[in-house]
């Protein structure tokens, strides 16, 4: 984020000034006054005053091949752990194996950081409050009590980071205080204010939703009803939300809102001749929904598009049409498999979708622009797609982002900020799928804000699997005709039988009955733990499909794996070999070397994965395992996502009885608490002409 961007973000939020000891009490008093209806939130907070933000420079490419942005993949080389860090961890009773993660988190000054504030250990991935408390007690003795300001600050940040894993970019101050109280903070409300005073947490006030149900839903997602998001009504009935969050999420949502508003405001509608050419392109579109999308993109700089798997052909048709008109057009997918399927659609439409995924070849009818199909991570890292100009903007005229529900706020902000003024941006995706692994709900907020044209596809997903999944999307679990055994339900009594039948399906039944080999079949289950989670299933599948001693850190050549170097970045692949440098993988044709010290933390066997890891990828056959202990994890979005991963065949190993139809009918995806839709509406209101101007 540029310095001027940070200055502008400060205008849109109201953090308490550091060094003022009475600010903590003032903040919580303000919250209580607004919640009780005694005072108006407008008395305590000013309205945001957004200003234009210069575009950021292109991010540097990372050695690990990940996006050069938030939560990017650490560098590929081995990490040296200084002796001082090792000694400090031993002094605090922490395992020496934590040293690598500590140095990755804090860098060369790790020892100094932890000596000054032992609770900073909570910032290290995988460390829980109980472990950080033990570490602090060992170093500080009786001085490290539960009310220590350093502990309270670290816990506040940790709780907000945990909320981000569930998609929230902000929480209500009362929800954060309740979280602190659960970890023994003596005066939790004061602790929230002190964390704000120290700059560890930021405070905001946002105008609430025009639709009261939307705001209440977001607040409820924080876990404490409407007060969780601090939402109350101002005088005159206008709702206001008092919120707290981390700076990086605030900057991301504010930057994203400004970037989307910039694209809308800088777009120049086509002239008469160009508009006629776009209309001709719409007339050649493969279907009415594709034609509607082409017309919407012709007239606007920002368009939202929704639909199922079959609807992916519509943004592909748009990109092909734009390239035929001479525009530099690209389409970005969430996964490498999504990019491959997108390239096939573009080739069908004559849009130059082929070529290698690194974007280094593919010259053809597109005029040498290279392959039109890229991945979002490849585009951000500079491995794929167009180059950037001297200002850091992509050299393109139109970008269609498929799988937009999988965009978290930070990656979306980076992407949008690099789209040049006057270009067209289409955010497309299936709103019924599970949301992003990171904080935010970009497409959902854009749709709810209603600040741009929206195209809803009317193209149905084909076949029995498509019919089943379409019904799930509207809350109906229907029986479908499957004359070719496209959908099979396998009832089981317990987890042990579920594991046995799963291995039988993958290794024997599906290959024999359908001709789909095991390597083209994916097992999906709700979680990693449990008696039929990914760990148990992968152990059983490895024993049957690729037995071996696990000579490379528990892995053998030929093992299917899921490599997750950072949250939300899972690459599926196969083990090639291992050596002193690390574990060598083939991830969809791209060579990846995982350093030895990171293998245990970032690589799992991948015959069985979770639905979150499977989003954006499809296989010839999918086997979805629902053991009895999976009931709490089930929701309509989970079932929709998991059942839709099979292109030709779906087997459901069913051990949850009536919990499955109940989840589909009654349990939608949990709401996320975010600020983006409010920020988008504020940008749109600011851009709208005043009544005097209109007159």
Residue 4 within a domain: no
Helix/strand/coil for 367: coil
Task: Please state the domain count of the chain.
Answer: 3
Q: For the chain, state the CA radius of gyration.
A: 26
Residue 673 within a domain: no
pLDDT at site 5: 39
Note whether 281 and 167 are same-domain residues: no
- Both tokens of residue 497? 């039988």
State how far the Cα of 332 lies from the Cα of 355, in Å rounded to an integer. Answer: 14
Contact predicate 476/666, CB 8 Å: no
Note whether 176 and 288 are same-domain residues: no
Residue 39 in this model has a pLDDT that exceeds 90: no
- pTM for this one? 0.86
pLDDT at site 9: 40
Helices 676-687, 247-266: crossing angle, 10 deg rounding = 40
Residue 56 within a domain: no
Residue 5 within a domain: no
Residue 382 within a domain: yes
Note whether 307 and 186 are same-domain residues: no
In terms of pLDDT, which residue wins out, 661 or 214?
661
State how far the Cα of 31 lies from the Cα of 37, in Å rounded to an integer. Answer: 10
Which alpha helices (DSSP H) does 350-441 contain, by range?
A: 376-381, 409-417
pLDDT at site 597: 86
Residue 290 in this model has a pLDDT that exceeds 60: yes
- Both tokens of residue 629? 């202990």
- pLDDT tens profile 94-119: 999 999 999 999 999 999 999 999 99
Cα diameter, the chain: 79
**How high does pLDDT run on average in the chain?**
86
Q: Which of 404, 611, 605, 469 is nearest to 527 (CA)?
A: 611
Q: Name the burial class of residue 543, with classes exposed (0-12), middle (13-18) and buried (19+) by CB atoms within 10 angstroms of its CB.
A: exposed
State how far the Cα of 74 lies from the Cα of 432, in Å rounded to an integer. Answer: 32
Q: What is each CA distance from 242 to 24, 31, 357, in whole angstroms?
A: 14, 7, 44
Rounded (5°) CA angle 595-600-604: 105
Helix/strand/coil for 111: helix
Note whether 529 and 498 are same-domain residues: yes
Helix/strand/coil for 141: helix
- Both tokens of residue 581? 């440098």
For residue 90, the Cα-to-chain-centroid distance in whole angstroms is: 36
Note whether 520 and 444 are same-domain residues: no
Confidence of residue 26 (pLDDT cuts 50, 70, 90): low
pLDDT at site 18: 41
Helix (H) or strand (E) holding 101: helix 99-106
- Both tokens of residue 649? 């065949």
Q: Say if strands 487-491 and 646-654 run parallel, antiparallel, or are unpaired.
A: parallel
Residue 451 in this model has a pLDDT that exceeds 80: yes
- Both tokens of residue 379? 């585009």
pLDDT at site 77: 61
Note whether 601 and 510 are same-domain residues: yes
Contact predicate 400/426, CB 8 Å: yes
Note whether 512 and 621 are same-domain residues: yes
What is the residue whose two structure tokens read 């981000």?
Answer: 164
Residue 384 in this model has a pLDDT that exceeds 50: yes
List the domain range (segments joined by +) for residue 35: 15-47+63-247
pLDDT at site 74: 44
Helix (H) or strand (E) holding 432: none
Contact predicate 286/313, CB 8 Å: yes
- pLDDT tens profile 582-635: 999 999 999 999 999 899 989 999 999 999 999 999 999 999 999 999 999 999
**SS3 letters for 468-528?**
HHHHHHCCCCCCCCCCCCCEEEEECCCHHHHHHHHHHHHHHHHHHHHCCCHHHEEEECCCC
Q: Which of 612, 613, 664, 609 is nearest to 634 (CA)?
A: 664
State how far the Cα of 119 lies from the Cα of 459, in Å rounded to an integer. Answer: 53
Beta bridge partners of 646: 619
Note whether 455 and 511 are same-domain residues: no
Note whether 217 and 348 are same-domain residues: no
Phi, psi of 195 (to 5 degrees): -65, -35
State how far the Cα of 279 lies from the Cα of 396, in Å rounded to an integer. Answer: 21
Beta bridge partners of 583: 578, 594
**CATH number of the domain residue 619 falls in:** 3.40.50.300
Residue 283 in this model has a pLDDT that exceeds 70: yes
Note whether 70 and 170 are same-domain residues: yes
Residue 275 within a domain: yes
- pLDDT tens profile 477-526: 999 999 999 999 999 999 999 999 999 999 999 999 999 999 999 999 99
**SS3 letters for 144-188?**
CCCCCHHHHHHHHHHHHHHHHHCCCCEECHHHHHHHHHHCCCCCH
State how far the Cα of 144 lies from the Cα of 93, in Å rounded to an integer. Answer: 15
**What's the order of all strands across the beta sheet hosting 521-524?**
487-491, 646-654, 619-626, 521-524, 608-609
- pLDDT tens profile 61-79: 333 333 333 333 444 567 8
Residue 669 within a domain: no
Residue 9 within a domain: no
Confidence of residue 8 (pLDDT cuts 50, 70, 90): very low
In terms of pLDDT, which residue wins out, 30 or 544?
544
Residue 324 in this model has a pLDDT that exceeds 80: yes
pLDDT at site 10: 42
Note whether 175 and 315 are same-domain residues: no
Contact predicate 56/18, CB 8 Å: no
pLDDT at site 441: 98
Note whether 24 and 150 are same-domain residues: yes
């Amino acid at each position: 984020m540029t310095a001027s961007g940070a200055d502008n973000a400060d205008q849109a939020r109201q953090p308490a000034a550091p060094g003022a000891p009475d600010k903590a009490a003032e903040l919580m008093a303000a919250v209580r006054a607004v919640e009780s209806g005694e005072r108006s939130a407008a008395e305590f907070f000013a309205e945001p005053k957004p200003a234009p933000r210069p575009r950021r420079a292109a991010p540097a490419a990372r050695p690990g091949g990940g996006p050069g942005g938030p939560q990017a993949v650490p560098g590929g080389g081995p990490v040296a752990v200084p002796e001082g860090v090792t000694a400090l961890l031993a002094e605090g009773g922490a395992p020496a194996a934590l040293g690598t993660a500590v140095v990755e988190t804090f860098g060369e000054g790790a020892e100094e950081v932890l000596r000054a504030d032992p609770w900073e250990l909570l910032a290290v991935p995988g460390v829980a409050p109980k472990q950080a408390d033990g570490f602090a007690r060992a170093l500080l003795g009786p001085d490290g009590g539960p009310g220590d300001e350093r502990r309270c600050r670290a816990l506040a940040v940790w709780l907000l980071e945990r909320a981000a894993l569930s998609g929230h970019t902000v929480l209500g101050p009362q929800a954060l205080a309740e979280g602190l109280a659960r970890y023994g903070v003596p005066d939790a409300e004061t602790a929230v204010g002190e964390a704000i005073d120290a700059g560890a947490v930021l405070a905001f006030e946002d105008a609430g939703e025009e639709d009261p149900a939307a705001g209440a839903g977001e607040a409820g997602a924080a876990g404490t009803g409407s007060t969780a998001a601090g939402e109350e009504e101002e005088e005159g009935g206008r709702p206001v939300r008092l919120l707290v969050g981390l700076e990086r999420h605030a900057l991301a949502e504010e930057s994203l809102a400004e970037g989307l508003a910039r694209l809308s405001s800088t777009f120049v509608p086509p002239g008469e001749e160009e508009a006629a050419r776009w209309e001709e392109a719409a007339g050649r579109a493969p279907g009415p929904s594709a034609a509607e999308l082409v017309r919407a993109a012709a007239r606007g700089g920002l368009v939202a598009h929704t639909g199922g798997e079959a609807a992916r052909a519509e943004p592909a048709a748009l990109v092909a049409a734009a390239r035929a008109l001479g525009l530099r057009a690209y389409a970005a997918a969430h996964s490498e498999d999504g990019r491959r399927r997108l390239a096939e659609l573009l080739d069908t439409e004559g849009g130059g979708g082929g070529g290698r995924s690194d974007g280094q070849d593919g010259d053809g009818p597109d005029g040498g622009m290279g392959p039109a199909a890229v991945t979002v991570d490849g585009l951000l890292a500079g491995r794929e797609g167009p180059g950037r100009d001297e200002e850091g903007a992509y050299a393109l005229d139109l970008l269609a982002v498929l799988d937009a529900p999988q965009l978290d706020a930070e990656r979306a902000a980076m992407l949008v900020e690099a789209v040049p003024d006057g270009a067209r941006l289409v955010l497309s995706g299936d709103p019924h799928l599970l949301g992003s692994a990171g904080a935010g709900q970009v497409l959902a907020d854009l749709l709810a804000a209603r600040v741009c044209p929206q195209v809803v596809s009317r193209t149905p997903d084909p076949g029995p699997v498509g019919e089943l999944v379409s019904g799930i999307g509207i809350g109906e679990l229907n029986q479908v005709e499957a004359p070719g055994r496209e959908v099979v339900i396998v009832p089981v009594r317990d987890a042990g039988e579920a594991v046995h039948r799963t291995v039988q399906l993958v290794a024997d039944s599906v290959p024999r009955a359908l001709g789909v080999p095991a390597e083209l079949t994916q097992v999906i289950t709700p979680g990693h733990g449990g008696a039929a989670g990914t760990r148990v299933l992968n152990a059983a599948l490895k024993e049957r499909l690729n037995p071996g001693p696990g000579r490379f850190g528990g892995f053998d050549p030929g093992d299917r794996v899921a490599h997750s170097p950072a949250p939300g970045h899972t690459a599926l692949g196969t083990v090639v070999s291992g050596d002193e440098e690390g574990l060598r993988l083939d991830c969809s044709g791209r060579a990846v070397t995982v350093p030895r010290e990171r293998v245990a933390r970032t690589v799992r066997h991948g015959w069985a994965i979770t639905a979150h890891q499977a989003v954006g990828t499809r296989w010839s056959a999918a086997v979805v395992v629902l053991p009895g202990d999976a009931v709490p994890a089930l929701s309509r979005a989970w079932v929709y996502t998991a059942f839709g991963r099979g292109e030709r065949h779906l087997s459901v190993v069913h051990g949850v009885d009536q919990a499955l139809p109940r989840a589909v009918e009654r349990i939608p995806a949990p709401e996320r608490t975010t600020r983006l839709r409010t920020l988008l509406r504020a940008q749109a209101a600011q851009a709208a002409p005043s009544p005097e101007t209109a007159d």
